[in-house]
């Protein structure tokens, strides 16, 4: 209806999950809070949801937290009841495969035509039932270019702290949807506008409030814009690089504090990244397959300054070199790292392997000679 190609189709039915499993032998039932049927066809999975009833028909003391968040949502009902319990009116539209018609119980077609995102029911109640709806409001508004209706928008800033009650693993999936949908930069601005970003990345938000010549904010924005461009060009994007960008500033600041107290650069960055990640995991979980590459990307930033001897070639052979180099280029573009340093490594990669190395600044040579006279190895080189 918007002239775009849908990324997927949601299948809904009046059959219970157990009935769906009786029809399809290749079916698995998943979920506890929200029971679903997954019907497997080779590598394809058709996710089938059963029509749910309205919340007033399933409220119970043991089904809600003190804040009003629903613990289970498995009371089944009719298609009309299912439509009226969905979050936004534009998400309450059904496409009938019987006669190829659009079924609209909630005024979703009109809101779609006007570009309005509106919650069904009382917004405060709906956000308390599931605080992730606040993130979904931002994601849909950014992705579709819709405006959030005033009544849907006004409670968000007040209720943003409810995200603390959402499991970190679920928030990780929501963050990926927010920042890997091609509108990351817009979503970031809206998240900050409503106070939601501070709930997801508290250390980063704190560092953004302490701007140094716009470096932290510029770096994050350029990283998110770069992510959007890569997705538009159908290039791969890894969550490890995305989170490395989002958390770099608090890691960098903590590293500087540790270095000032006497820690060697490499040990300082290792300790700082561990501390920041530990705090971040309390809000948004991050699988180890992403957190480990992140820490390597950060640590390699301190090895780029060593451009003498065989160090550049050893660094070039590092399995995480390309991601770390891209991160260096991003830092330079944001003004947070020397552009000369990024240019040197760009030239080094493209140089003839048998040719002499690109010359480093004379200042680096003087530091190197002083280092040899004092016979004190570089702390980074010890790594």
In the predicted model, what is the mean pLDDT of residues 8-35? 90
Q: Is the pLDDT of residue 60 over 90?
A: no
| First vs last C-alpha separation in the chain | 57
- Any bridge partners for residue 64, and if so which? 70
Q: Is the pLDDT of residue 271 over 90?
A: yes
Would you state the pLDDT for residue 6? 83
Tell me the pLDDT of the chain averaged across its residues: 87
**pLDDT tens-digit map of 112-133:** 999 999 999 999 999 999 999 9
Q: Are strands 116-117 and 101-104 parallel, antiparallel or unpaired?
A: unpaired
Would you state the pLDDT for residue 315? 94
The burial of 77, by beta-carbon neighbours within 10 Å (0-12 exposed, 13-18 middle, 19 or more buried), is given as: middle
Catalytic residue among 82, 87, 130, 228: 87
Residue 112 to residue 92: CA distance in whole angstroms:
11
Q: Is the pLDDT of residue 381 over 90?
A: no
In the predicted model, what is the mean pLDDT of residues 330-353? 89
Residue 344 to residue 361: CA distance in whole angstroms:
10
Would you state the pLDDT for residue 346? 94
Would you state the pLDDT for residue 75? 86
Would you state the pLDDT for residue 56? 54
Reduced to 3 states, what is the DSSP secondary structure of residue 47? strand
Would you state the pLDDT for residue 214? 65
Would you state the pLDDT for residue 353? 61
Q: Is the pLDDT of residue 28 over 60?
A: yes
In the predicted model, what is the mean pLDDT of residues 139-156? 96
Would you state the pLDDT for residue 377? 42
Please tell me whether the overall predicted TM-score, pTM, comes out greater than 0.85 for this model: no
Would you state the pLDDT for residue 9? 81
Helices assigned H by DSSP within the chain: 17-23, 79-84, 108-114, 123-129, 132-144, 150-153, 156-159, 168-179, 184-193, 197-200, 202-208, 215-232, 239-260, 265-280, 288-300, 311-316, 321-333, 339-350, 362-374
Q: Nearest 10 degrees: CA dihedral of 381, 269, 314, 330?
A: -130
More confidently predicted of 260 and 58: 260
Would you state the pLDDT for residue 359? 63
Q: Is 8 a catalytic residue?
A: yes
Ordered domains of the chain (ranges, CATH): 201-383 (1.10.3090.10)
Q: Is the pLDDT of residue 370 over 60?
A: no
Would you state the pLDDT for residue 361? 61
Confidence tier at 360 by pLDDT (50, 70, 90): low
**pLDDT tens-digit map of 293-305:** 999 999 999 999 9
Q: Is the pLDDT of residue 371 over 50?
A: no
Would you state the pLDDT for residue 369? 40
Q: Identify which of 127, 13, 121 has the alpha carbon closest to the alpha carbon of residue 70.
A: 127
**How is residue 259 written in tokens?**
């270095």
Contact predicate 156/134, CB 8 Å: yes
**pLDDT tens-digit map of 153-178:** 999 999 999 999 999 999 999 999 99
Rg (CA), the chain: 25
Reduced to 3 states, what is the DSSP secondary structure of residue 310? coil
Q: Identify which of 13, 315, 29, 230 has the alpha carbon closest to the alpha carbon of residue 239.
A: 230
**pLDDT tens-digit map of 203-231:** 999 988 876 666 678 899 999 999 999 99
**pLDDT tens-digit map of 178-210:** 999 999 999 999 999 999 999 999 999 998 887
List phi, psi (to 5°) of 70.
Answer: -70, 140
Q: Is 111 a catalytic residue?
A: no
**pLDDT tens-digit map of 77-113:** 999 999 998 899 999 999 998 999 999 999 999 999 9
Residue 276 to residue 204: CA distance in whole angstroms:
10
Q: Is 87 a catalytic residue?
A: yes
Question: What value, to the nearest 5°, has the Cα angle with vertex 331 and ends 318 and 368?
Answer: 60
Q: Is the pLDDT of residue 53 over 90?
A: no
Would you state the pLDDT for residue 73? 55
Confidence tier at 65 by pLDDT (50, 70, 90): low
Q: Is the pLDDT of residue 66 over 60?
A: no
Residue 34 to residue 50: CA distance in whole angstroms:
10
């Amino acid at each position: 209806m918007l002239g775009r190609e849908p990324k997927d189709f949601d299948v809904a039915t009046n059959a219970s999950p157990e009935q769906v499993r009786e029809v399809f032998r290749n079916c698995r039932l998943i979920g506890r809070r929200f029971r679903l049927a997954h019907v497997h066809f080779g590598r394809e999975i058709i996710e089938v949801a059963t029509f749910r009833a309205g919340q007033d028909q399933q409220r119970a003391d043991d089904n809600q937290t003190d804040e009003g968040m629903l613990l289970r949502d498995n009371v089944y009902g009719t298609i009309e009841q299912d439509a009226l319990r969905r979050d936004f009116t534009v998400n309450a539209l059904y496409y009938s495969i019987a006669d190829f018609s659009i079924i609209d119980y909630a005024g979703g077609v009109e809101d779609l035509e006007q570009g309005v995102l509106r919650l069904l029911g009382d917004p405060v109640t709906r956000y308390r039932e599931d605080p992730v709806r606040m993130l979904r409001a931002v994601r849909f508004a950014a992705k579709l270019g819709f405006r959030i209706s005033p009544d849907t928008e006004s409670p968000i800033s007040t209720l943003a702290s409810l995200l603390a009650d959402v499991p970190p693993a679920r928030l990780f999936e929501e963050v990926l949807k927010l920042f890997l949908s091609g509108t990351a930069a817009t979503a970031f601005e809206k998240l900050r506008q409503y106070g939601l970003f501070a709930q997801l990345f508290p250390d980063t938000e704190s560092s953004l409030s302490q701007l140094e010549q716009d470096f932290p904010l510029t770096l994050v924005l350029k990283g998110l814009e770069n992510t959007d461009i890569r997705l538009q060009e159908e290039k791969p994007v890894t969550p490890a690089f995305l989170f490395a960008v989002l958390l770099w500033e608090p890691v960098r600041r903590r590293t500087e504090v540790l270095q000032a107290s006497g820690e060697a650069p490499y040990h300082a960055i290792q300790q700082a990244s561990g501390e920041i990640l530990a705090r971040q995991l309390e809000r948004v979980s991050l699988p180890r397959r992403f957190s480990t590459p992140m820490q390597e990307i950060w640590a390699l930033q301190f090895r780029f300054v060593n451009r003498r001897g065989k160090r550049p070639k050893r660094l070039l052979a590092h399995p995480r070199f390309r991601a770390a180099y891209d991160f260096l280029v991003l830092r330079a573009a944001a003004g947070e790292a020397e552009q000369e340093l990024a240019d040197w490594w760009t030239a080094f990669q493209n140089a003839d392997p048998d040719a002499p190395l690109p010359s480093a600044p004379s200042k680096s040579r003087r530091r190197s000679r002083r280092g040899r006279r004092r016979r004190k190895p570089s702390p980074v080189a010890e790594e």
